Structure formats: structure tokens, C-alpha cells
A and B are shown apart, each in its own frame.
Chain A
């Protein structure tokens, strides 16, 4: 168990900057998820923490001790790989104990650790098999066993579930969560799957283009996205972003949608702005998640509006309806038990307690 500090890490591959001034602070027992689209630098960051890549500048501190110049094996970390990276020619037993053998651990201790881990992960019946004789889920368990057996200070996971089928992925996700609750170790976990990130992380760092866009608890990230990228990346379907501007009428601020034929101004008097200067006439995005569009009033901040339904996507437990909002599309997510007619004006309620506003120029939350 340990803390991990990352101070202003920069990393280039030739001319391309992959990491641009990354700062992170992970406390003991934290489960940090690095989330982002492919190519955002999250795996490079993980490899840099592991010591498989060297940063061009910046510091990495484990328990406040600078580890930049240490070999991966001396950092007391363990890494679970996307491809599992099991040694093909070794049995499961050998795979799990290889690291301990390299560290000249005594035979008894190795055996003890092996028994513990194989019981914990239910791989005790597989010990004499070769990796090629294992199923995907079993390989995954062995890969985790290889990491756990060393009892490292920090666990690193590099998209460990992305090679599993959907059902197994959910199962293993739960097991990792249980494991973390039981062992309370510090974990850094890389994924591009937002459900995984939301369900596992105690905090999530969303990365794009080598920059951390926002690092917060899952709830804050979902409710108060820091910028357009985060708002768009989290949630499925993603947040509706309506173009428009802020206007002032009778000392009250309103959102006015672009190309408004019918002047529907949405009142912003209860919105908590980050700062209150220069708001008037700003071009903004009005952000509301599809799940915050309701059919009936259920909040004291509801805003009633009549929109025409254009498309209905039925997906079992819910349905997604596309509405026309002054020639911009707006999606709503409803329980599939409700019958919503197509091509009709429908009375909707926006829950204004749950909206976000972003500056169109900077794409930052305002």
C-alpha cells in the first residue's frame, strides 16, 4: 500500500508529444482510473509509472520516494496487461512464481504466497496447465495472480478486461472491485470503457491528447463535467449540447437557442456559474443529459417545453427518442414501459438542476 505522486510528467516520441504536463496525486488505497479514447496517452502514462518508458521530464514518487531512475522490477509495482502476457512456455505455477523467484524469495514463502493467491482467485486447479490450455477468463485470473502474489505497493492495470466477452467482463469487473475492497491496495487502472471506469474507480482521470481533462470522483465527473470533451465522453448517449447564447432580460439570465423561430428562452437563475463576469451575450453550449429530459414535472426546477419526436430507438430496458429542438437534435432517454408516439408534439420537462453550460470558444465549463 502506498501513495503515488506524479509531478509534471512530459513524454515525447520523437516529435509527437504524448504526455503534456501530467499531474496526479493518488492517496493510499485509492482506485484511480485513467479513462480516455485510444491514443490519448493513458497507456504511456501507465508504462511510465511502471518504468517501462522513461519520461522526458517530471517526477514520479511512490511513497514520496522518487523512482524515475529505478528499474521496473525495483519499483515494487505489478502490472496486469491487456494481452495478459503470460509466459507461453511456462505452467501457470511457474508464471505466478517467476517474479518471486527472480527476487530470490525462499521456497516456503513462494509456496505460501502461491497457495494464498490461487485460493483467492480460484486458479488452484489450473496450476500445472500451460497458458495455451486456458480460457480467456482463466488467463485473466492467472495474470492477476501473477500481480497479486508479489504483494506490491501499487497495482497497475492496462485495459485488463478488453479481451474478454461482454458477460465475462462484467463478472471480472465485479471481482476486481471486491478484490480492491478486500485488499485496500492502491490501484491505477487504464481503460477506455466508461462503465468500467465509473463502476470501479474511487476517482477518474479523463485524458485526451496527453492532457488530463478532469480528475474527480465518478459522481462529480458525471454531474459537473469540466469541459465539452468530458461532457461528451461520459454518458451514453452522451450529453445533448445545444448551441446558443446567454441573454439578459429584466436582470435575469436566460439561454437563447440559435436560430430560434419560437423564442424559447430557458431561465438560468438557479444555475451555479463558476464565475459571474462577462456572461451576457456569450456563445455557449447548453448541456443536458438525455436521462434528465422527463415527461412529467419531477423537480422544482423543471422547465416545460413542447418538442416534436422524430425517431424512436427501442433498446429493451429503455428507449431513446430524438426530438427536434429548433432544428437541433435533442435526445431523451425514457423507460420503455411508456408509450411515446412518433412525429408528435410532446410535453417535456428539462431538469434545470442538472444542466451544464460551456463556453463555445474555450469549451470550458462556465
Chain B
């Protein structure tokens, strides 16, 4: 008996030691990866707060000597230059203010319209089965995968014919159309998990298609609506391809403006302003991510694990 007990104790302490070592290795690896992910954000922030002089003499990771938001102001409303009529914004410079609002004007209607239509489609496809509804769903599903290069040319021509090229309205239309596949897919997958019997009960109670949607389905759809809105917001805000292809100059969304800003080599490279601009362009989606990370991830996984 005693011999056995001794053996058990040895086993116990050995496994305890092993566990502690494992734990440390675990945290070490996780920490290294955390550094990998966080470093670019850190570099962006510190660079945006430095002066160009400081950037040239110091290095990437040094903290700024003093906190200075000049680059942020410059990125937002342009560089101020001395003219005969006092300080003015330099006309030749790209700055973000107008384009930021362009993006807002584009995102809000595009997200709202595509989400409402997606919810109605998902509801109609799952709760009011009709002939070929599965095929229609499959067409929507496949639509989420197409590379947009295959539709860019005809879309550009169509927008031209409609007189919508180079306009925010045109971009709203494009984002609604290609967002529909995603919103329909998300909502369809959510509604399919809700019991059909609820809809049947409501039909027997005398409610019709829209009444059931607004009175019974919509009040329980909040989770999926949040996911859909966040997904659409992120996608449309971050879009570059459609923005760069269908609009230029004044009507461009923020990602296009940011890229132009970084690429213009009219004057000396100002990395601090570039970084401030990049942060400004990323802030709205980052805020959404921080505030509603749970829904954000759910959207990503919902968009990936389909069917």
C-alpha cells in the first residue's frame, strides 16, 4: 500500500511540474503572436504622432518625444500653406474629410437597403416555400463567391448608361446589388432555424405575409440583423475595387482617397500623415469591432460556413 502511495505522489508532482512548464510555453507563444498582430497598429499610432524630422532620425518603434496631432489634422483637412490671403488649405493636396463623408453617405443607405431586402428574401425563401426556392437560394449562395472582375466591365457601362458613374448613388446601387447575396444568405440561414410552426400558427390566426414578418419575425431577428449590418458596414466601408473602378475625383470613397493620398508623390513623403490617414480610414470599422466583436465574428463565421 505505502509503496503505491509513494508512486502516486511522484506521479502527481511530476505531472504538476510538467503542467507549469507547458503553461509557460503556451503563454510565450501566445504572447509572441500577440506582438506580431499588435505591432503594426503600434507603429501606425506612434508614427502618426511624430514629426518627419523625428521619423528620419529615430526608428520605427521609438515612442514620440511629444504628442503632436498635426499629422492627424493635416490628413483630415489638408495641409495649410501661406498664401497672399493668409493661411489656406493647399489645393493640390489630397485630404480625407470630404471622402470620409462620401463613404458615410454611401454606407448608410447601402447597408440599410441591402439588409432590409436580405431579411425579406430570407424570410420568403424559408417560411413560404415555393417551387424552385432551393435553386434561387443556390444562385444567391454562389453569388457570394464570384470574383467581381467578371462583372466590372458591364457594370461600368451600365452605370454610364444610367448616368450614375462617378457618383455616390452609383456606388450605393452597386453595393446593394452585390451585398444582397450576403444579406440573403445570412438571413436565410437564421430563419431556417426558426420553427415553421410559428408561421403556420400565425397564418391560422389570420396574419398575412407582411404582418407575420413585421409582427412576429422581425422582433426576434435582432441578432441576425446586427450581424448583417456589421458585415455589410465593414465590407462596404473597406471596399476599394468598386470605389476605384466606378468613381474618381470628388465622389470617391475614403479607401480610394487614402490610396491616392499615399501614392501622390507631389511633395516629400510624409509618413506621419499617411499613418494618421490610415488610422482615420480604419477607425469606424475598428470601433464597430471593439463594440460588437461578438457579432462581428459571428458574421465572419456565418459568411464562411455556409448552407
Q: A: which residues have CB within 8 A of B?
A: 47, 50-52, 71-73, 77-79, 81-90, 98-99, 102-103, 146
Question: Please, what's the 1-or-0 string for B192-219, where 1 marks a CB less than 8 Å from any CB in chain A?
Answer: 0001011011111111000100011001
Q: B: which residues have CB within 8 A of A?
A: 195, 197-198, 200-207, 211, 215-216, 219-220
Complex CA–CA separation, A98 to B219 (angstroms): 15
Contact of A87 among B198, B203, B206 (CB under 8 A): B198
CB neighbours (8 Å) of A85 from chain B are 195, 197-198, 200-201
Q: Which B-chain residue is minimally distant from A50 (CB atoms)?
A: B204
Complex CA–CA separation, A41 to B125 (angstroms): 24
B195 touches A83 (CB 8 A): yes
B197 touches A102 (CB 8 A): no
A98 touches B202 (CB 8 A): yes
Q: Which B-chain residue is minimally distant from A98 (CB atoms)?
A: B205
Tell me, rounded to whole Å, the shortest Cβ–Cβ distance linking B196 to chain A. 9
B204 touches A78 (CB 8 A): yes
Give the secondary structure class of B's interface.
helix
Ranked nearest first, the 7 interchain pairs of A and B with the lowest CB-CB distance are A89-B219, A99-B205, A73-B206, A102-B206, A85-B197, A85-B201, A81-B197
B195 touches A89 (CB 8 A): no
CB neighbours (8 Å) of A77 from chain B are 204
CB neighbours (8 Å) of A89 from chain B are 216, 219-220
CB neighbours (8 Å) of A71 from chain B are 203
CB neighbours (8 Å) of B206 from chain A are 73, 99, 102-103
CB neighbours (8 Å) of B202 from chain A are 87, 98
Task: Given contact pairs A52-B203, A52-B204, A73-B206, enumerate 7 new A-B contacts (beta carbons under 8 Å).
Answer: A50-B204, A72-B204, A77-B204, A79-B201, A85-B197, A85-B201, A98-B215
CB-defined A-B contacts under 8 Å, sample of 14: A50-B200, A51-B204, A52-B200, A72-B200, A73-B203, A73-B207, A77-B204, A79-B200, A83-B197, A85-B195, A85-B198, A85-B200, A87-B202, A88-B220
CB neighbours (8 Å) of B207 from chain A are 73, 98, 102
Complex CA–CA separation, A102 to B206 (angstroms): 6
A79 touches B204 (CB 8 A): yes
Complex CA–CA separation, A98 to B216 (angstroms): 11
A73 touches B197 (CB 8 A): no
B220 touches A81 (CB 8 A): no
B211 touches A82 (CB 8 A): no
CB neighbours (8 Å) of B203 from chain A are 52, 71-73
CB neighbours (8 Å) of A81 from chain B are 197, 200-201
Complex CA–CA separation, A89 to B202 (angstroms): 13
Tell me, rounded to whole Å, the shortest Cβ–Cβ distance linking B191 to chain A. 13
Complex CA–CA separation, A300 to B130 (angstroms): 63
CB neighbours (8 Å) of B211 from chain A are 102
Tell me, rounded to whole Å, the shortest Cβ–Cβ distance linking B214 to chain A. 11
CB neighbours (8 Å) of B204 from chain A are 50-52, 72-73, 77-79, 99
